[in-house]
Structure 1
Amino acid sequence: MSAEFEADLKDLAGKLTQVESVMGLDDLRAQVADLEQQAASPTLWDNPEKAQQVTSQLSHRQADLRRVTGLRQRVDDLEVLHELAQAEGDQASLTEAQNELAALVAEVDALEVRTLLSGEYDDRNAMITIRSEAGGVDAADWAEMLMRMYLRWAERHDYPTQVYDISYAEEAGIKSATFKISASYVYGTLSVEQGTHRLVRISPFDNQGRRQTSFAHVEVLPEVEEVDHVDVPEKDIRVDVYRSSGPGGQSVNTTDSAVRITHLPTGIVVSCQNEKSQLQNKAAALKVLQAKLLQRKKEEERAEMDALKDGGSSWGNQMRSYVLHPYQMVKDLRTDFEVGNPSAVLDGDIDGFLEAGIRWRKQAANS
């Protein structure tokens, strides 16, 4: 093997060994075996809540185990491939080996970042709400662009998504939207996206072609599971029903199936209009409300830490700036990670920002 390739492969194998150690492969295998035994029990579904918890955990743990063992197998296979290619002078196979090495480096780095996610809810699905802020019609358009960015990111990773509610603005874009992305550790991964995102561009809605700065806020919450026991008494909520609407305020159905829930003690308002029936919309809206109440509870428990955080002004809690004019750049204001291709970022290529954010948060917690 060439000395450079051999050194790079050795470094990669060593990093993967460290990742395996942090993940605790033996414990992970034991967890999978135990959950498989529970899932095979004929009485599992006698308790639907417990069954959902077991099957969800099993799916996540199996995915983790497949991911890390698959990477180890590929690293081992790569060494053999390169040795054979070297011995036979097969240039095509040597190129294939180099490409595979580059791909493996990226995937092991991503898995290493995943090991930094150790928060209580990091392994859960993510509930994301995007709201337009200062900037008028440009801000509403910007909020819709951000929604597309996250949905495209999920699509790139084959993560299922579910849109709960979209409130369309009158001229263009959206006032707000709430959707779920389902995957192991997706909440922990996307939680670093929470905050105000700032866009600078020539406004497509200004007939004088002036530069416009607009803002949108991203909220990321963990999906509530049955074990969280977030009780929402009926007396604490007001349920309103209305007809679902699409862009421009047009009605998209003829029945009052959309649901808006107001939590009276806190004033939190959530809505859902994308399910087929009023009952389904109410159930989905309750899930969003429970996620917000769980987050509120945790924030109250961490009140002393929260007091150290930035305020809620558009400028004060900015976390990323997207500049389309007079130059092209997207920059994270916390990590200083930046790229010069906003189009790719807005098309869902945000993994570099996510990795930098997770590493930054871990360093800040340890400092």
Structure 2
Amino acid sequence: MAGPDFDAEIKQLQATLSSIEKVLDLDAMREEIAALGEQVAAPDLWDDQANATRVTGRLSALQGELERFTGLHSRVEDLGVLVELAEEEGDADSLAEAETELGRLTKSVEALEVRTLLSGEYDEREALITIRSGAGGVDAADFAEMLLRMYTRWAEQHKYPVEVFDTSYAEEAGLKSATFAVHAPYAYGTLSVEGGTHRLVRISPFDNQGRRQTSFAAVEVVPVLEQTDDIDIPDEEVRVDVYRSSGPGGQSVNTTDSAVRLTHIPTGTVVSCQNEKSQLQNKASAMVILKAKLLALKKAEERAQLDALRGDATSSWGDQMRNYVLNPYQMVKDLRTGYEVGNPQSVFDGDIDGFIEAGIRWRREAEKADAN
């Protein structure tokens, strides 16, 4: 069987990287990295912890993005050198190594190319994700915790900082809900395709008769707001409740009423935060979440398309967007794109890039179809 046309394949990779470079605007990225570096070096940076966390998180994420691109660019150049030397010397082993590297590079460049498809109004923002257990009792609560671990593992693999704002534990096991932020450029555009209802089928570890159980969890993704966003919430429209933070099994993890719950009276939107030590910090974080969710509602009303920012997250039969099947066979399948893998454990360990990339491409095609 003939091997790949290395010359044509490498030229295609270089052309794709050139297109990606224009979209990413690496010069602007380097300028922002330099400016953030100066802020990080300031001796008073940590006087404002919230700002310090934002600055250091943004710097880390941008550096990671730049290293990702430059690393791929270097690997493509190295591949060209490897192929040239191998062909000159008739080295079959080196050519086989080059073919393997070509496959890995093609996959990595395609993954980076997906970034160029993120052109929505808020796609470049950081993301706020809320996971809620749905139908399925304790299995659903356990599934919600599995999804939280999946997304945090994914973020860790990409070196994206994660900030957990609130975790509401179920009585027996797992989570009723959790809200967290992923601090990275384009985190919202990337993760917004994860919004919707996720369905798990497995032999329940909580059923002493070993029966198969179907459970659901809802994932909601909204963009983090910036100060320039026009979301004004009058004080009289927000009810503030304070309570003690709680951990697994309902145990109290704080001796003071530091946890905060905010209710936006006109819309009934409720958010809470209990992961900071002080009531003021929790209130500030809860307000960030509330504004983000109200922005999602505002934009949804303007466009009459709720799914555009929030996803269909009713968490029950008939509306799931992805199935995770552990029994009677092993499969994770996205019902919108048809993308599937036969190793659920790798997915729960954070290997979800394939699903995200397929979702972004699917969404772009759907937008094109709608435009026509």
Tell me the TM-score normalized by structure 1.
0.86
Aligned to 1:191: 192
Q: How much identity, in percent, do the aligned residues show?
A: 65
Question: Which range moved further: 51-60 or 253-262?
Answer: 51-60
Aligned to 2:108: 107
Aligned to 2:212: 211
Query: Counterparts of 2:201 and 2:340 in 1: how far apart (Å)?
Result: 15
5 Å-filtered alignment, 1:141-160, equals 141-160=142-161
Query: Counterparts of 2:56 and 2:329 in 1: how far apart (Å)?
Result: 49
Q: Structure 1 30/138 Cα, relative in aligned 2: closer, same or farther at 3 Å?
A: closer
Q: Which amino acid aligns with 1:286?
A: M
Secondary structure of the 1:238 match is strand
Question: Which range moved further: 101-110 or 173-182?
Answer: 101-110
Query: Counterparts of 2:98 and 2:126 in 1: how far apart (Å)?
Result: 35
Aligned to 2:349: 347
Q: Which amino acid aligns with 1:120?
A: E
1:97-116 deviation per Cα after TM superposition (whole angstroms, max 9, x unaligned):
44432332122101111100
Query: Counterparts of 1:136 and 1:254 in 2: how far apart (Å)?
Result: 30
Tell me which of 17, 26, 29 is aligned to 2:27.
29
Query: Counterparts of 1:82 and 1:333 in 2: how far apart (Å)?
Result: 40
Aligned to 1:121: 122
Q: Structure 1 248/34 Cα, relative in aligned 2: closer, same or farther at 3 Å?
A: closer
Alpha-carbon shift at residue 56 of structure 1 (Å): 9.0
Q: Which amino acid aligns with 1:327?
A: Y
1:77-134 deviation per Cα after TM superposition (whole angstroms, max 9, x unaligned):
3212332344356666555544432332122101111100101111111100000111
Query: Counterparts of 1:198 and 1:317 in 2: how far apart (Å)?
Result: 9
Q: Which amino acid aligns with 1:81?
A: L
Unmatched runs of 5 consecutive residues or more in structure 2: none
5 Å-filtered alignment, 1:76-115, equals 76-88=77-89, 94=95, 96-115=97-116
Aligned to 2:292: 291
Query: Counterparts of 1:317 and 1:255 in 2: how far apart (Å)?
Result: 41
Aligned to 2:302: 301
Q: Which amino acid aligns with 1:170?
A: E
Does the CA contact (< 8 Å) of 1:121 and 1:188 recur in 2? Answer: yes
Q: Which amino acid aligns with 1:341?
A: N
Q: Which amino acid aligns with 1:29?
A: D
1:275-311 deviation per Cα after TM superposition (whole angstroms, max 9, x unaligned):
12111111111111111011111111111x4499969
Alpha-carbon shift at residue 313 of structure 1 (Å): 6.2
Alpha-carbon shift at residue 350 of structure 1 (Å): 0.6
Alpha-carbon shift at residue 186 of structure 1 (Å): 1.2
Query: Counterparts of 2:221 and 2:88 in 1: how far apart (Å)?
Result: 52
5 Å-filtered alignment, 1:233-272, equals 233-272=234-273
Does the CA contact (< 8 Å) of 2:240 and 2:262 recur in 1? Answer: yes
Q: Structure 1 185/179 Cα, relative in aligned 2: closer, same or farther at 3 Å?
A: same
Q: Which amino acid aligns with 1:281?
A: N
Secondary structure of the 2:140 match is helix
Aligned residues: 358
5 Å-filtered alignment, 1:326-345, equals 326-345=328-347
Does the CA contact (< 8 Å) of 2:333 and 2:339 recur in 1? Answer: yes
Q: Which amino acid aligns with 1:355?
A: E
Secondary structure of the 2:77 match is helix
Query: Counterparts of 2:290 and 2:312 in 1: how far apart (Å)?
Result: 24
Query: Counterparts of 2:339 and 2:125 in 1: how far apart (Å)?
Result: 26
Q: Structure 1 164/106 Cα, relative in aligned 2: closer, same or farther at 3 Å?
A: same
Alpha-carbon shift at residue 316 of structure 1 (Å): 3.7
Does the CA contact (< 8 Å) of 1:29 and 1:65 recur in 2? Answer: no
Query: Counterparts of 2:135 and 2:355 in 1: how far apart (Å)?
Result: 24
Query: Counterparts of 1:310 and 1:244 in 2: how far apart (Å)?
Result: 30
Q: Which amino acid aligns with 1:237?
A: V
Alpha-carbon shift at residue 33 of structure 1 (Å): 4.9
Aligned to 2:202: 201
Question: Which range moved further: 61-70 or 345-354?
Answer: 61-70
Aligned to 2:228: 227
Question: Which range moved further: 174-183 or 225-234?
Answer: 225-234
Q: Which amino acid aligns with 2:325?
A: V
Query: Counterparts of 1:6 and 1:254 in 2: how far apart (Å)?
Result: 67
Aligned to 1:318: 320
Query: Counterparts of 2:146 and 2:307 in 1: how far apart (Å)?
Result: 31
Instruction: Kindly indicate whether residue 16 of structure 2 is the aligned counterpart of residue 15 of structure 1.
Output: yes
Cα-Cα RMSD: 3.2
Q: Which amino acid aligns with 1:265?
A: P
Q: Structure 1 222/310 Cα, relative in aligned 2: closer, same or farther at 3 Å?
A: closer
